[in-house]
Amino acid sequence: MTPYDRLRELGLELMAPADPIGTYVPFVLSGSVLYLSGQGPREPDGSLHQGKVGADVSIEDAYLHARTTGLNLLSVAHMALGDLGRVRRVVKLLGMVNAIPEFTEHPLVINGASDLFVAVFEDAGRHARSAVGMGSLPGNITVEVEAIFEIAP
């Protein structure tokens, strides 16, 4: 079963990646490592999920936003590699949550992206990770996640 088959089973489709909003590229491929720039919770229609987790956004909604962000990362990886089957391992994620200062459940939110990668890549989707809170994120988005993948030639 391919990563694309698993995405279909989940009822998910890749979309065209968003254009960078600054002076950077969406990915860098260096040897057998694919570095993915931070992505946010952008829906296929281009809308972004915004707000502060712990105030106007629930943990459950933010989890889904992180899952959407993971799907956006997979879309960039597909653009970079041409085939998600080249992913040998998801190595590391950095998940950032736009949260109120008192919020402490950042890992529960970023599990949305982590759970997606495990569902799509199975054991190769298990990764090291940091999940941290931020005072703000670009465009007031709820989450941002960046990723590092090991890839096959």
pTM: 0.97
Overall average pLDDT of the 146-153 stretch: 96
**Selection from 87, 106, 85, 83 nearest residue 147 by Cα:** 87
Say if residue 69's pLDDT is above 90: yes
- Cα–Cα distance, 123 to 117 (Å, whole number): 9
Overall average pLDDT of the 102-124 stretch: 98
- List pLDDT tens digits, range 22-56: 999 999 999 999 999 999 999 999 999 999 999 99
Tokens found for residue 139 = 């465009």
Side-chain half-sphere CA neighbours of 47 within 13 A: 5
> Which homologous superfamily does the CATH classification assign to the domain defined by 3-151?
RutC-like (3.30.1330.40)
Tell me how many degrees the CA angle 99-103-106 measures, rounded to the nearest 5.
75
- What pLDDT shows up at residue 153? 86
Overall average pLDDT of the 120-145 stretch: 98
Report yes or no: 53 and 109 within 8 Å, Cβ to Cβ.
Answer: yes
